[in-house]
């Protein structure tokens, strides 16, 4: 179960809901793969073919370093041959794979705080 977070800028009025955490569909590998880049899909798919276990996904709020989009980046962890590996998603707007954990308004660049407004599954 995840949290619904509201990103709201008091400076310019920008608002967006972000879905943090994970949901019931995240147990489905095909659903997880759709949130990864082509390269990330390839890495995870090959890992599964080679016996990866304990696959989990968690979405964390972030800002895209390229376009400024605010979203929850999917972080996929899995264990292969006793080692934990991580594959992360990309910005759904511009496909950038780099992100910042500080949440800045995409319009005025002011730092935004997030408020929990509900839960999702």
- The mean pLDDT value of the chain amounts to 93
Q: What is the pLDDT of residue 88?
A: 93
For residue 28, what are its two tokens?
A: 């489905």
Q: What is the pLDDT of residue 1?
A: 81
Kindly give the parts of the chain with pLDDT less than 70. Answer: none
Q: How far is CA 46 from the centre of its chain?
A: 21
- CA distance readout (Å), 97 to 39, 74, 94: 11, 11, 9
Q: What is the pLDDT of residue 19?
A: 95
H or E element, residue 43: helix 38-49
Nearest to 78 by CA among 87, 69, 70, 90: 87
Q: What is the pLDDT of residue 100?
A: 94
């Amino acid at each position: 179960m995840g949290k619904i977070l509201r990103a709201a800028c008091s400076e310019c009025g920008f608002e967006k809901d972000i879905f943090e955490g994970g949901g019931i569909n995240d147990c489905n590998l095909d659903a997880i793969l759709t949130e990864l880049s082509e390269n990330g899909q390839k890495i995870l798919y090959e890992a599964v073919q080679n016996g990866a276990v304990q696959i989990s996904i968690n979405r964390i709020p972030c800002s895209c370093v390229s376009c400024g989009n605010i979203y929850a980046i999917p972080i996929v962890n899995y264990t292969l041959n006793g080692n934990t590996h991580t594959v992360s998603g990309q910005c759904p707007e511009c496909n950038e794979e780099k992100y910042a954990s500080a949440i800045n308004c995409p319009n005025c660049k002011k730092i935004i705080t997030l408020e929990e407004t509900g839960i999702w599954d």
